[in-house]
Amino acid sequence: LHSLRRRQRQMCIRDRAIGCATLIMSTIGMMVGRFIGPLLGKRAEILGGIVLIGIGGQILWSHFAG
């Protein structure tokens, strides 16, 4: 019973740490995007789309190949 409580407490701490890290990184990304967005404009959107297509293709390939 004590082991289960300790494990639950560790999971709660880990989940909060992941949540805080996600919040911080997404906030920084939004702030940087607001600054860089007007400078790069359409090229950044195209590059972001290419990156997302590449990630999707890699996931698809890993599912078919694995």
The sign of the torsion formed by the CA atoms of 53, 58, 62, 64 equals positive
Mean pLDDT, residues 22-41 taken together: 91
Global confidence as pTM: 0.58
pLDDT above 90 coverage of the chain, percent: 56
* Residues written for the chain: 66
Task: Choose between 2 and 9: higher pLDDT.
Answer: 9
Q: pLDDT confidence of 1, banded at 50, 70, 90?
A: low
Pinpoint the alpha helices (H) of 1-66.
Answer: 2-40, 42-65
